[in-house]
Copies of this chain bind each other. A is one copy, B any other.
Amino acid sequence: MRIGELARRTGVSTRSLRYYEQRGLLESARTPGGHRQYAEWTVDRVIRIQTLFAAGLHSDVIAGLLPCMHDHDGTPNERATHTLAEELSAEAERIDRAIADLTRSRAVLDEVMTTARLGRDDGS
């Protein structure tokens, strides 16, 4: 499929797809004319990439990670590097901290809302 269809099927802009390729997250075959051509399983990969981005991982970390995940054909690929494993657990901790922070923030915001409500309009 070409980039437009991939974009439509994944909900990711063509700009982003080209960016992913530039960052080494996606590969594409090219038509004689230079248009990108994607395999079916690329859809899954793009979605996976999106999830990882949503987790706050940077493109270079994702780039190192992707070849270690088993792909379309179920073949496990490269073995995870020691450094990669460390990076991953670092990311996991970061996410945990982020969640904890947000939870605290949410509590504070609740408190704030209550406090602010003290001075609320009482029915004019």
| This chain: copies in complex | 2
Pairwise interchain contact B121-A82, C-beta atoms closer than 8 A? yes
The majority secondary structure among interface residues of chain A is: helix
| CB of A52 within 8 Å of the partner chain | yes
| CB of A12 within 8 Å of the partner chain | no
Q: Bits for A89-101, please: 1 = Cβ < 8 Å to B, else 0.
A: 1011001101101
Task: List 20 other contacts, CB 8 Å, given A55-B108, A70-B118, A88-B116.
Answer: A51-B105, A51-B108, A52-B105, A54-B101, A54-B105, A55-B102, A55-B105, A56-B105, A68-B116, A70-B115, A80-B117, A84-B116, A85-B113, A88-B112, A91-B109, A92-B106, A92-B109, A92-B110, A92-B113, A98-B102
